[in-house]
Amino acid sequence: MNTTHPSQPKLDHLHRRVERIVAATPVCDVHTHLYDPAFKRLLLWGIDELLVYHYLVAEGFRNTDLPCDRFWELSKSAQADLIWDSLFVKHSPVSEACRGVLTTLNRLGLDVWKRDLDSVRRWFAKQTPEAYLERVLETARVVKIHMTNSPFDDLERPLWEKGFRRDERFVAALRLDPLLVEWPAAAAKLVQWGYKVNESVSRRTVDQVKRFLGDWTRRMNARYLMVSLPPDFAFPAKSVCAELLEQAILPFCREEGLPMALMLGVRRAVNPALRMAGDGVGVSDLQALRNLCSSFPENRFLATVLSLENQHELCVLARKFRNLHLFGCWWFTNVPYATEAITRMRLELLGLSFTAQHSDARVLDQLIYKWDHYRTILIQVLTEGYAGLIESGWEPSMQEMQRDAQWLLGGAFEHFCG
């Protein structure tokens, strides 16, 4: 009987093996804010974009007395200078978002230790968007990118309406926040676009919203629909959000066979002066998600939660409902402290039936660090999981480990979405 604890050399060997496998496994990134290159300037990249990422802006404001308004009046490169100075020069850049910039530059072969922002800028000035895209995808080993696409976004809508040649690596996801959380302003837009809705959730409104969803799903070839919701989201409820979800969106998803992604727990504009950096988090009442999963077994729900406090309850919920698929460690939980705990908890409670991570990248280059840092965590957690199996007398083969890594990094998601 082979039940002894694996020896240290055996554990080291296992770790190296898992490391090689996870490093080589291509990622299907299930949620980002990146755009198909046809959107030109909407696909952000380069050092200044990296430095003015809203995760860093929030941290930068903690180290300066500059009034918020003055910061927003500055040019992008002046904002980037300020952030560089306050977060990288005056203090060691140990936060996850700061370290991310360094990992990215380091993996691209730049000498970050020189602390020379000008030379970094000169390096980026020599890159072309086309070649740089290939380089980043190759370095990050990302093969498919899900975008976040909103018909309510005035910058992206015109190109969708005009049509363009798609890059097949960039997959669309239809984002519906304004429709569900900014009614009746969204109703006014729909009317303007020729959908005859009224402010109440009437039969006609429901039909017209479904027509709107159909038009945009087809136009984008969207893989799933998605919304982010505040902690007090309730279902069922006498709210436009709950009623539109029940009467228009979920029936549409059922008819079209599309999953609905729910991102729960964001408190928007906690500090509006920080603009995009001003959103916060709250603990969600997951009773709403439970009600959705049990009332609509024919619907498939993708879910992620922002609050650390909700993670365990979410895992247990996923054990009860196979129409619920968990994905990623979202935003404020995308720090090693949390990703390690969340990934381990999911693995121990759900086995491999979840999608380990999404990058949420807003700047192309961030794919490099977000996946580099997460792979390190996944290697650690998987190694421990396999060590436990070995201790129980079950030695996983190389092929089995490769299969598992593929599953966690996109395979399970593709399977769930159908």
Binding site for ligand RAT (CB under 6 A): 33, 148, 228, 263, 331, 360, 362
Q: Of 196-204, 254-262, 277-285, 353-361, which segment contacts Zn ion by CB under 5 A?
A: 353-361
Q: In this complex, which beta carbon is closest to ligand RAT, that of residue 226 or of residue 401?
A: 226
Phi, psi of 32 (to 5 degrees): -140, 175
Per-residue burial over 136-160, b if 16 or more Cβ lie within 10 Å, else e, is: bbebbbbebbbbbbbbbeeebbeeb
Q: In this complex, which beta carbon is closest to ligand RAT, that of residue 117 or of residue 368?
A: 368
Query: Encoding tokens for residue 287?
Result: 């009773």
Question: Distance between CA atoms of 264 and 257, rounded to whole angstroms?
Answer: 22
* Binding partner of residue 228 among ligand RAT, Zn ion, none, CB cut-off 5 to 8 Å per kind: ligand RAT
Q: In this complex, which beta carbon is closest to ligand RAT, that of residue 338 or of residue 389?
A: 338
The answer to whether residue 279 forms part of the interface with Zn ion (CB under 5 A) is no
Q: In this complex, which beta carbon is closest to ligand RAT, that of residue 279 or of residue 404?
A: 279
CA separation, residue 173 to residues 148, 219, 379 (Å): 5, 11, 29
Query: Encoding tokens for residue 161?
Result: 């309406």
* Binding partner of residue 383 among ligand RAT, Zn ion, none, CB cut-off 5 to 8 Å per kind: none
Q: What are the respective helix, strand and coil percentages of the chain, to the nearest 5?
A: 55, 10, 35
* Binding partner of residue 321 among ligand RAT, Zn ion, none, CB cut-off 5 to 8 Å per kind: none
Q: In this complex, which beta carbon is closest to ligand RAT, that of residue 33 or of residue 166?
A: 33
Is residue 210 within 8 Å of 252, Cβ to Cβ?
yes
Minimum CB distance to ligand RAT, residue 335 (Å)? 12
Is residue 412 within 8 Å of 27, Cβ to Cβ?
no
What is the total residue count of the chain? 418
Is residue 266 within 8 Å of 306, Cβ to Cβ?
yes
Minimum CB distance to ligand RAT, residue 100 (Å)? 12
Minimum CB distance to ligand RAT, residue 29 (Å)? 13
* Binding partner of residue 103 among Zn ion, ligand RAT, none, CB cut-off 5 to 8 Å per kind: none
Minimum CB distance to ligand RAT, residue 181 (Å)? 11
Query: Encoding tokens for residue 61?
Result: 């404001």
Half-sphere exposure of 320 (CA within 13 A, CB side): 13
Q: In this complex, which beta carbon is closest to ligand RAT, that of residue 360 or of residue 372?
A: 360
Minimum CB distance to Zn ion, residue 184 (Å)? 25
Q: In this complex, which beta carbon is closest to ligand RAT, that of residue 171 or of residue 390?
A: 171
Give the interface size with Zn ion as a residue count (CB under 5 A). Answer: 1
Minimum CB distance to ligand RAT, residue 401 (Å)? 30
Is residue 262 within 8 Å of 285, Cβ to Cβ?
no
Of the candidates 29, 177, 360, 372, which one interacts with Zn ion according to CB under 5 A? 360
Question: Distance between CA atoms of 285 and 291, rounded to whole angstroms?
Answer: 11
Query: Encoding tokens for residue 86?
Result: 């306050």
Where on the chain is the footprint of Zn ion (CB under 5 A)?
360
